[in-house]
Every structure is written in structure tokens, then in C-alpha cells.
Amino acid sequence: MYSLAFGTGTRNAKNEWLEVYYPAPLFNPDDQLVLDIKSVVACNGNNVDIDLDDPLIDKLAAVIKDPEQLHILALMKGSIRPCVLTLLEEDSKPATTPEVYLKLHLLSHRYVRPNEQNLEDIFSLLPNVAWTSMGAVDPAEITDLQLKARTTGKALEVNAIDKFPRMTNYVIPAGVRISHGARVRLGAYLGEGTTVMHEGFVNFNAGAIGPNMIEGRLSQGVTMEAGSDLGGSASTAGTLSGGGNIVISIGKDCLVSANAGTGIPLGDRCTIEAGLYITPGTLVQVLDEYKNPVKVVKARTLAGQSDMLFIRNSQTGVVECRSNQKAIELNKALHAHN
């Protein structure tokens, strides 16, 4: 078994799922527990969603010994929101909205890293949702809800209309700082010691292994290894934002300076100077350790290499790649989020 989880969420007037919250997913759960649960719910198929009512919750509670899962089931009894059990036995293309939400939870709970799950075509399974002060609402139903709120002297705040919610409304990983919750989507992976500043952004299926400083944009599919810093307004080319099928990664102890960016993978201890964006087609003058010209190449040929310093020669305007003599080191006190 790949994962199972008990969740509760929101459906629209057409009984379609808008979102699902899984408080404590189980990753690779005990085989006997899976067999016991499947015997209760009469499960058929590898990946399934099963609606839960109070009688079925009672039957499940009778075969589960885990205190945390029993606590979740107890809180679900009598819920006015729909409840669901989602079982994933294989990592295949998602087929339902609850499946997608469970996979996004697994990322934010740090059970899997970015690009380790099949997230093919998930946009077709994620409805556009009005994220409001009263929870998830179908945009087609928002006007009536706003009117009802106003007639009772209340105001309905619409925070966003998007397919993805804020991660912090579903998962709060231990040992991180997030200055603005709207800047991190559910499905982001934030390792312990990571700080996301006010203008930083982490997309779904993107990850900072931690500790990291994020003041720029970590795009979908991008992974940044421990000790690296993404400077203010810096950006990375994700598979949804120009990276195509190239998986962009940033190695350990790298610095992508303010207003800089990369469209190629970087190895360890690399630095890109402020304001310089390296695309795969950028012409780069490679210098040896004595700063003598060696060759001119397109940046894609340097992808994944370590100890590179990318700068633009202030006299000639040529982009140069030198040996990085100074690897960055993050402030340990700043990233100890206990």
C-alpha cells in the first residue's frame, strides 16, 4: 500500500468534490491494517475513494488500533461535511479530486519529494475554487452565499480564486517559517529550517529540502537542496513556466542572487550574480582558475555542474562562468525554527 488517509472536505451543489483535508495521511501503512480496512469497506480496485458515514466510521474504528487515526475517526462522527477514505495502492495517474489532494498532502507532509509521484493531468481534476473566509466555495455559487452573509450583517471575504489552496490551511510542517501563507501552495515541500519570506513563493510539486532561504520564486517541479539561498525576486524555470521537460534543480550551498534566475540545473556551490538570468541558450565564456578564456558554450552544456560562478563582465557584457571560490553558508540561528 502506497498511502491511505481519512479526510473531510467540501462538495458543491452538484455533489462534486471541491477540496479534501487529510489531517494525518499514512504513508506505506502496515499491511494488516490495510487488509482490515479493506475488509470493512469491501474495497475493489487499487486506488479508490469511499464515502464515510457514521455506521461505517464505527466499523472502521473497531479494526483500527492507531490512536491518532482513532482520534480522527471520532472527530469525524456527526460531521456536517462529507467524509472520505482514500486508498492509493499504486502511483498511477490520479482519477479523482480526493486522490489529487492526498498526493498534494503527501508532498507537504514530506513523505515524498517533488517529481516522485505521478501528477499527470491533475489540473483537469482540480476545480477552480473560491477560497473564502467561510471555506471553499464553487465560484458559481458564491453570489448567493455573499448575499446571505450580507443579509445577516456579515461579510464574506474572498481571498483567492484558484485550483490550489494555501498549504498552511492544510499542512504546517515542523521547523519552518512562512511570512505570508498565500505564497506557498498545497503540495509544496518545505524541509526543516526553511524560511519563506514575504515575497518568496513555492509552487506545488516544488521543494526546498532545508534549511533554505526563499525570497524568490521556486517554480513547479524545482527542488533546492540544503543550504541554498534564492534571493529577492529571483526565479527558477519550472515545467509550467518555460522549463519544458527539463527538470530544474539547485544543488547544495548555492546562491541565486536578487533578480537573478536559472533555466538550467545547478550542481553544488554555484552562484549566479544579481540580475543575471541563465537560460539554456545563454552564451557563456568559460574561464579557467586563472580567469583565462577557455571556450564559449551554451549554458545547457554546463547543466548540473558544481562550483560555478556566473557573472556578467561589466566591461564587455559577456556572461562568464568562473570557478566559485566562495560557497555561501546560511545563518544557522536564522534557520533554527524550533
Phi, psi (5° rounding) for residue 193? 90, 0
Quick one: 305 exposed, middle or buried, by C-beta within 10 A (0-12, 13-18, 19+)? middle
Q: Where are the alpha helices (DSSP H) in 77-141?
A: 97-108
Q: Are 19 and 136 in contact (CB under 8 A)?
A: yes
Strands 249-250 and 129-132: unpaired
Residues 6+ apart with CB under 8 A from 150: 156
Rg (CA), the chain: 23
Residue (of 171, 165, 196, 186) closest to 337 by Cα position: 196
Find cell 525570497 and name the residue: 215
Paired with 10 in beta bridges are 19
Q: Are 117 and 106 in contact (CB under 8 A)?
A: yes
Find cell 494525518 and name the residue: 24
Q: Where are the alpha helices (DSSP H) in 109-263?
A: 142-151
Cα–Cα dist 39/326, whole Å: 59
Q: Which of 19, 99, 215, 225 is catalytic?
A: 215
Q: Are 216 and 230 in contact (CB under 8 A)?
A: yes
Paired with 129 in beta bridges are 162
Query: Is there a catalytic annotation at residue 215?
Result: yes
Q: Could you give the residue numbers annotated as active site?
A: 215
